[in-house]
Each structure stands twice: as C-alpha cells, then as structure tokens.
Chain A
Amino acid sequence: MKKKFLSAFLATAMLATSLTGCGEEKKETTEATTAATTEAAAGDTTAAPADDAAAYDECTITFDWWGGDSRHEATQAAVEAFEAKYPGINVEINFGAWSDWETAKATEYLSGNNPDVQQTNFDWIGKYDADGTTYLDLNTVSDVLDLTQYDEATLAKCVDSKGGQAGVPVSVTGRTFYWNEATFEAAGLSVPTNLDELMAAGPVFKDKLGDNYYPLVIGEYDRAILVAFYLQAQTGKPIIDENNQLTVTQDDLKKGLEFIKSLEDAHVIPTIPYLDGEGADSMDKSQRFINGEYAGIFEWDSSPAKYVSALGDNGDDLVVGNVFPELQSYSKVSLMFSISADTEHPRECAMLLNYLLNDPEGAAIMASERGIPESKAAYEVVNAAGKINPLSAQAHEEVMNSNPLYWNPLFDSSKLKGDTSTYTTVFEQFSYGMDAAGSSYDLDKAAADLYNGYMDALAQ
C-alpha cells in the first residue's frame, strides 16, 4: 500500500517538474527593427555613444534590488520609464528589504541563477565574485554604459581580482558626526569642531545637565570605526590597505583603545553597560537619544533621515558636524549595480543601467534614493531638482572634505563585525572591564584580542 502511495507521489512530482520545465522557456530573443529604435534613442544626449545604443534586441531581462519604500517606488517608476523609452525590452523586477536579502542572493550565486542586473553590496565582489566570473566586466559594455561619468579612483574600488569592472559605484558614503544643537545650547556650548572641544564638553554636560547627559553616544561598531579613524590620522594610511595588510601594530591598537577609554572617563560617551541598560539596538530607537540626553552620534552620511524622524518635532535640532581634524576618515562605496556574467543580453542590461544611472530622465526619477549619486550627470540633474536631502548633502560634503582614505571591505568581515564577532566582544568586554566569564579584562587583553581578530579576518 505504502509503495503505491510513494510511487503515486513520485509520479505527481515528476509530472509537475516536466510541466514547469516547459513553462520556463520565457526568454525569447527577437531581432528588433533598427528603424523604430533609432528614433527612441535620439533624445538621449548624455551618453556619448548614444547612437550605438539605438540597436538593441527585444528581450526580457531580470533586475532586483533591496531597500525601503521610497527606493522601491522610485526604481519601479524608473524601470517603467525605461520600458516606455525602449519598447521591446521587458524588465522583470524583484525587490525586498535588506534583512536576509543576502541569504537569498548567496543561494542564487551558488546555483548560478542570479538576475541579469542587480543592486550589489560592495563586499560581494570579494565574497561571490572571487574568481571574477560572477559579474560581467563592465568595460565590455562601456560603449553603452557611460563609465566616464565616474571618478577613476572610485571605479577602481569596484574591480575584481582579474581587473574586471565588477560594478558601477552608485554612491559613496562615509561617517561624520551629527549633533543635537538644542542640548549643546542648554549646556551653554556650541557644537564641537575638534576633539578638544568634545573632550571639554563631557564634564560640562555632567555638571550643567546631569549624569545622564552625554555629548556623544557610540556603540561597539562605532567605536571600532572611531579607533580606525584615530589611528589612520596617526599613520596616514588606511587601517587595512589595498593589499589586505593591517597597517597598525598591536601597540597602536592599544592607543586607539586608550582613546576610547579616555572618552568614557571624561563623560564624553556613555559606557556599554549604561547603553545596555536601555537596550536600544540603534540610537533612533533610544528614548535617551529622542529626549536629547545623547547629544551626538557618529553615523553614515546617508542615514540622518531616520534620526531626524526619530526626534519627531525636534528633528530640526540635529545638525551636521565636521570630521575632527584629529581623525582621518575613510569612505566606501555604499552600493553598486552589477550585471551577471551569464546574462544573454549584456548590451540591454547595460542600457538599463545607463538609463538608471546616467540618463537625465532616469537619474531624475531615481533621485538620491541610493545616496548622493556618484555619476556626475546624475548629480547635476538631481541636485538641480533639489531632490537631495539637505542634511545628507551637507554630511556628504563634510565626509568628502575630510579627504577620506581607502576602505577595505575586510574591515566589515563577518569575523570582525557582527553580534558575536571581534568588534562587539572586544569593545563590550573592555567597557565592562570584565569578560564573559567574569574575570577582569584590561587594556592589554583588549588590544591583543582586537589585533588577533584583525589577523584572523585578514588571513582568510
């Protein structure tokens, strides 16, 4: 009896397989009539090779991205406009939120059925394109995709191990300070512009406003970045250089940790135990930040919107600060667009990207949904239309003014960044003054653990 059931199930399964197998043959390529399309591309003036773009195949390409509401809306609108401009190219879209998005994409890369065009994260080049065969070398389609709109240096960051252009950098981001001006005013201070002013603000906050007021709040990962900024200012080199080498010694890291300790001691930043007491996983969810007790944050130039929204009616109090002269920043490519090396329609994919990134029409719709555009053509259009969040624009300017250094994606390696990884454990235990087992955890131990963490991550 059981055998019969089993065979029945198997038969059904096989039938289902064969049925879908037939249904999958969707991607058809038909030669388009060139006459109709020349007209369509005639209005396209930005991209130099616009005339060549006239010829394209009618086809279906797949495209996916992650993000939030407004990004979904803008990108969908831009894709629709693209389809209207180039009739015959059908773009199948897919989008979602960031959480677990990479899990889904990783399985796709493993099975080789990733979409033709994708929004990609900077560290994906190293993770999923190590041999340079996942993403198309965009230089091969540069007649359609105008790469001259980007800085050579920025483009060079998105190169895979074989020298192929694995992605177009959509935007570049870095960290700076944001201050709650109202709290600083209440303490009788202006917002700090260098480290000494910040250090001096700690005691003033404590005396004038109370123990629960701090001029700055930073979590474990923020501390790791601040240590990097602090040490980079001393060495003048990126903490992890282009050759995946750590440029600082264990003693240097010790100095960096001492710097963090000095901030805690001067009542500039709250300790991790104090932060854990509230338990907010980011400051936009912290009651103390919303109340103005934490008067400063150290954040990406792309993120102020969520803090402004968290402050509610007091959103205007948040102002952008500069990167202190005592610190040396880095900047990183926040995200890229890539084309799959396996795509059957590289040219049409490149046309889509060019439309989204460089074409004034497409760029205007995409606005600054993926950060302030790196593409010069897009920046002009978006800036002229006033579509860049002024706070974000100002923060971006501060970051760029600080002459940011190179940033190696290994800095964010899962061995270093993550809830149970080096940055979290070292800075947490160091701030608590004891390790998870309860024995004391001093500066030397913290420096050694941090150093070993880096070595471990770089040895990969």
Chain B
Amino acid sequence: MSIENNNIETSEKTDITPKADIKKSDKVEMTPVLGKKSLSKEAKRANRNLMVRRGINTFLRYFVLILVGAIMIYPLIWMVGAAFKNNSEIFSSMNPIPIKGTLDGFKNAVKSYGGNINIWKSMLNTYSYVIPQVILTVVSSVLTAYGFARFKFVGHDILFGLMMAMLFLPQVVLNVPQYMLFNKFGWVGSEHYLPLIVPAAFATETYFIFMLIQFLRGVPKELEESAQIDGCNVFQILIKIIVPMIMPAVVSCALFKFMWASNDFIGPLLYVKTPAKYPATIFVKLSMDSDAGFDWNRVLATSLISIMPNILVFFAAQNQFIEGISAGGVKG
C-alpha cells in the first residue's frame, strides 16, 4: 500500500507546475497574465490559495487512506495483541493492546504433543508437501496451457470446454470419490503425502490453466515462428520464449498455489493419519475443544507463528505477484 501511495504522491509533485498554471489562469482570469517577472499581488495570493488547497487535498487523501488502511489492518493487529491476552480479555475488549499481558499463549504454542508433533515440525511438514505441490502445479499447468493455446488437436474444443467446466466443480464434491480412489491405491495415511502431491502433477488447478492461456494470447506468435526458424523445437520454444514472457503469470500461479496449499485444512485432515505428520493447519486446531473450552491465546499464537513464512514469501514476491494479476486482468 505504501508503495502505491508514494507513487501517487510523486506523480502529483511532478505535475504541480502544469496544473498550477491552469489553475492560476482559471483563478486570475480577471487580471491579464503579466509573465513571471511581474507577478501581481492577486496572482501571488492565488498561488498561496492554491498551496493551501493542495495541502488540504493531500491531508484529506491521506486521512481517508490511513483510516481505511487502519480498518483493513486492524484484525491483524488485534490478532497479534490477542495472542497476549487471556480468554476473558479477548472477548471483552476491542483494544488491541493487552492490559494484563501474558506470554502463556506463546509458551503453550511451542509445547509438543507427547513428543509427536510441535509447531516447528508441523510447519516443516506443511512445506514438505506444499513445495512439491507448487512445483508440480506450475509445471503441469504451463504445459497444459501451452498445449491448449498453441496446438490444434482432435477434441481440442471439447476438452477445453470440459476443462473450463471443472472451474465450477467444488472440491467438496470430489472429496469422497477421491478419497475412495486414493484408498484403493493405498495412499491414505501415506508418509509422503502422496494424495496431496500427486494430483498436482495432472494440472488440476483449472483456474491457473485459464489464466496462463489468457496470458499466452498476448504473446505474439511471430516470436515463436522466428524461434522456430532459428531451429527451436516446440519444447525449446516453451522454455526459451514462452516461459520468460509469461513469467509474472507463472509467479502468480506459484504464489496462489503456495497460499492455497498451505492453508488447506480438509485435504491433510482426510489423508494424514499420524499426528507426527500433521501440517500446521491441523496443528493450529489441535487444541480447540469447543465443549470443554480452550485458551484462545495459544491458538492465536500458533496461527501467528505459522503464517510468518507465508507473509515473508508474499512480500518477497509482491511486485511480480501484483504485476501478474493486473496484467492478467488487462489482457484477459
């Protein structure tokens, strides 16, 4: 957000002069413009008025931005504060700053469950299937998108239609049949998270394929043709020409997948059957017993620790990510 603000601000500053000229001529139309040498008193006053108005303008703009920004970020700040509060304080005050601070939440968050699983291990577990998932998803989606966008083959239109129809198929519907299939394979409870990782190799994220195809439409075919003349085969064209051109979109896909996969709860719940293999999403919830009650600060502290890598990854790739999304929107 702050980057954008700065951009707006600098662009405002650069066009101060032309705008001021227009405004000045508007305001001071009664008196003839005499040139810079002999600015009349009126013109000076008008200039001052203009500065004041500009100041107010900036103030208002920042006021609104800060206000809205504060509202947007409040839940996150509240979450950080609440991790240091006890249950009764969490639900009785909106104030994000804890009055009777306690570190119990964090102390309990790093506690292990009978030596089986602790937060660090669970985070490691998460990334041990998230990273292969991301890689496989990106590779398979790029290949599929390339196929659909650049090659005409028998059944192209029907297959494309079917693939687009998959966009509207909710995951819930797939849970049971998939589970039964993977159970037949003997993958349920697999140590290597096979039911979570393997489907990613088959371009199951329709949305990414769609997004990449839209991107590919913006890549001029002439580039590929000239590459062909230079002796590239189709695979080399993909690697050397297409992928670098659509890099922002690929990064977006990877980031989306990274976030979705590391937030996935129901997948691991269905397929991971040993506590030692639990990922962070399940670990965070382990202590939540709605009947007997539980310490919210522990849950919040665990959540806070476990979202850190995601936040870091997001900020590290923020520029590419935003570029990818907005470019996708424009070209689509």
Contacts and interface: CB of A to CB of B under 8 A. Distances in A.
Interface of A: 1-2, 5, 9, 12-13, 16-17, 20-21, 23-24, 62, 64, 67-73, 76-77, 80, 92-101, 103-104, 107, 110-111, 113, 280, 282, 284-287, 290-291, 300, 302-303, 305-307, 309-313
A277 B82 CA distance: 22
B92 A13 contact: no
B190 A20 contact: yes
7 contacts: A2-B147, A2-B151, A2-B153, A9-B202, A103-B270, A104-B266, A290-B88
A99 B286 CA distance: 10
Contacts of A110: 176, 179-180
B310 interface: no
Contact of A97 (B92, B140, B288): B288
B183 A113 contact: yes
Interface stretch (B4-12, B291-299, B313-321): B291-299
B86 A72 contact: no
A2 to B, nearest CB: 5
A60 B176 CA distance: 27
Given A5-B143, A280-B91, A291-B92, A67 B186 contact: no
Contacts of B292: 67-68, 70-71, 302-303, 305-306
B179 A107 contact: yes
A290 B285 contact: no
Given A72-B286, A284-B293, A104 B87 contact: no
B129 to A, nearest CB: 14
Given A24-B186, A107-B175, A111-B180, 15 more contacts: A20-B187, A64-B273, A68-B288, A68-B292, A69-B289, A72-B114, A76-B113, A98-B288, A104-B270, A284-B91, A287-B91, A302-B291, A303-B293, A306-B291, A310-B87
Given A92-B274, A285-B91, A71 B185 contact: no
A41 B140 CA distance: 57
B194 A16 contact: yes
B92 A290 contact: yes
A309 B293 contact: yes
Main secondary structure of the interface of A (DSSP, over half): helix
Contact of A94 (B86, B201, B274): B274
B270 A107 contact: yes
Central interface residue in A92, A107, A305, A311, by most chain B CB within 10 Å: A107
A98 B291 CA distance: 9
A64 B269 CA distance: 13
B110 interface: no
Lowest 6 CB-CB distances: which A-B pairs, in order? Answer: A306-B293, A68-B289, A312-B88, A76-B114, A97-B285, A69-B287
A99 B186 contact: no
B65 interface: no
B234 interface: yes
Contacts of B295: 309
Contacts of A92: 274
Contacts of A290: 88, 91-92
A69 B91 contact: no
B292 to A, nearest CB: 6
B104 interface: no
B264 to A, nearest CB: 12
B307 interface: no
Interface of B: 86-89, 91-93, 108, 113-114, 116, 140, 143, 147, 151, 153, 175-176, 179-180, 183, 185-188, 190-192, 194, 198, 201-202, 234-235, 265-266, 269-270, 273-275, 282, 285-295, 298
A458 B61 CA distance: 61
A307 B274 CA distance: 32
Nearest to A25: B186
Given A73-B113, A107-B176, A113-B188, A99 B183 contact: no
Contacts of A306: 291-294
Contacts of A303: 291-293
Contacts of B175: 103, 107
Contacts of B87: 284, 309-310, 312
Contacts of B294: 68-69, 306
A13 B175 CA distance: 19
A253 B274 CA distance: 47
A113 B234 CA distance: 46
A84 to B, nearest CB: 14
Given A92-B274, A111-B180, A284-B293, A309 B201 contact: no
Contact of A305 (B274, B288, B293, B298): B293
A113 B190 CA distance: 14
A180 B1 CA distance: 48
A16 B202 CA distance: 14
A97 B287 contact: yes
Nearest to A173: B291
B8 to A, nearest CB: 36
Contact of A103 (B153, B180, B266, B289): B266
Contacts of A98: 288-291
B269 A1 contact: no
Central interface residue in B88, B180, B273, by most chain A CB within 10 Å: B88
A96 B265 contact: no
A2 B143 contact: yes
Nearest to B273: A94
A300 B188 CA distance: 36
A313 B192 CA distance: 47
A96 B143 contact: no
Given A9-B201, A280-B91, A287-B92, A68 B185 contact: no
B275 A95 contact: yes
Contacts of A310: 87-88, 91, 293
A286 B88 CA distance: 9
Contacts of A107: 175-176, 179-180, 270
A103 B269 contact: yes
A100 B180 contact: no
B287 A68 contact: yes
Nearest to A70: B292
A1 B147 CA distance: 9
B242 to A, nearest CB: 14
A94 B185 CA distance: 21
